Structure 1
Amino acid sequence: MKIDIERLGLKNVPVDPETLFTFPEGIAGFEDCKRFKLFHEEGKATVFWLQSLDDTEVMFPIVAPEALDIEYQIELTDADCALIGLHGDDEVAVVVIVYRNEAEGGKIAANTRSPVILNLNSRKGMQKVLKDVHPTLLYRAR
């Protein structure tokens, strides 16, 4: 399978189906997007791109929360664990979606209330909405 990633200026990018992440419930506002590929730009190791294969115009920039000095302690329910096939010894990554907030003068904002949980073993993911998290943190783009 090959896809074009217009935002990164890439054409005919080969995608191994074994490397895809499946989001059984999609991502908030994009529930029809279930299959995603994780990419990163050369030389920009802190920002990754979660590219939808169901709608190639849908792409989310994501970063590890540690890059923004954010630390999570997330409790997943049994239903959450079942959704992403999470078992005790699986490796999990937590990332946050970032975006440019034009209403705040172009600052980079992180959606800290809804981190993305990736099970690196089952290659399934979910967006976990947290109720007791402080408002989105803003950072000046460089």
Structure 2
Amino acid sequence: MKIDIERLGLKNVNVDPETLLTFPKGLAGFEVCKRFKLFHEEGKPTVFWLQSVDDEDIMFPVVTPEQLDLQYEIELSDEDCALIDLKDPSQAVVAVIVYRDDAQGGRIDANARSPIILNLASRKGMQKILSEVRPAVVMRGR
């Protein structure tokens, strides 16, 4: 399978279908996009890109919560776990979509209320909409 990633100026990028992530319910506002490829630019392993293969115009930059000094305790329902075939919490990885907030002078912000939960074993994911986020303060270097 080959896709074009216009935003990064890449053409005919090889994508192994075995490496795709499936979001059975899509992402908020993009429910028709179910299949994504997660990658990073060479030399830039801190920001990953979640590229839709169903609509090549859809791509989200994602980072780990730790990069933003966020810590989550996310409770998943039995339905959530079944959706992404999650049987062991150690298989879950959390990511956060980041974006440039032009209303705030181009400041980089994060969608902390809607983290992405990935089950790396099943290659399935979901976006968990949280009604409340209680950020934790992390002291580094102490």
Q: TM-score, normalised by structure 1?
A: 0.92
| Paired position in structure 2 for 1:139 | none
Q: Let me know the Cα RMSD of the aligned residues.
A: 1.3
Q: 1:121 corresponds to which letter in structure 2?
A: A
Query: Runs of 4 or more off by more than 2 Å in structure 1?
Result: none
Q: Which range is displaced more, 86-95 or 20-29? A: 86-95
SS in 2 for 1:67: helix
Distance across 1 between alignment mates of 2:134 and 2:53: 32
How big is the shift at 1:88?
Answer: 2.0
Distance across 2 between alignment mates of 1:92 and 1:133: 19
Distance across 2 between alignment mates of 1:83 and 1:38: 19
| Paired position in structure 2 for 1:124 | 124
SS in 2 for 1:82: helix
The aligned length equals 135
Determine if the alignment matches structure 1 residue 7 to structure 2 residue 7. yes
| Paired position in structure 2 for 1:114 | 114
How big is the shift at 1:35?
Answer: 0.3
Q: Which range is displaced more, 85-94 or 11-20? A: 85-94
SS in 1 for 2:73: coil
Kindly indicate whether the alpha-carbon contact (under 8 Å) linking 1:5 and 1:56 is maintained by their aligned counterparts in 2: yes
How big is the shift at 1:132?
Answer: 1.3
Distance across 1 between alignment mates of 2:61 and 2:67: 13
1:55-111 superposed Cα distances (whole Å, 9 cap, x missing partner): 000000000010000010111000000000101265111000000000001000100
Paired-residue identity, %: 71
Kindly indicate whether the alpha-carbon contact (under 8 Å) linking 1:39 and 1:48 is maintained by their aligned counterparts in 2: yes
| Paired position in structure 2 for 1:97 | 97
Kindly indicate whether the alpha-carbon contact (under 8 Å) linking 1:3 and 1:15 is maintained by their aligned counterparts in 2: yes
Q: Which range is displaced more, 2-11 or 106-115? A: 2-11
List aligned pairs for 1:47-86, cutoff 5 A.
47-86=47-86
Kindly indicate whether the alpha-carbon contact (under 8 Å) linking 1:113 and 1:130 is maintained by their aligned counterparts in 2: yes
How big is the shift at 1:43?
Answer: 1.3
Kindly indicate whether the alpha-carbon contact (under 8 Å) linking 1:93 and 1:120 is maintained by their aligned counterparts in 2: yes
Q: 1:18 corresponds to which letter in structure 2?
A: E
Can you give the 5+ residue segments of structure 2 that lack an aligned partner in the other structure? 136-142
Q: Which range is displaced more, 48-57 or 1-10? A: 1-10
How big is the shift at 1:5?
Answer: 0.6
Q: 1:26 corresponds to which letter in structure 2?
A: G
Distance across 2 between alignment mates of 1:73 and 1:134: 9
| Paired position in structure 1 for 2:21 | 21
| Paired position in structure 1 for 2:133 | 133
Q: 1:31 corresponds to which letter in structure 2?
A: E
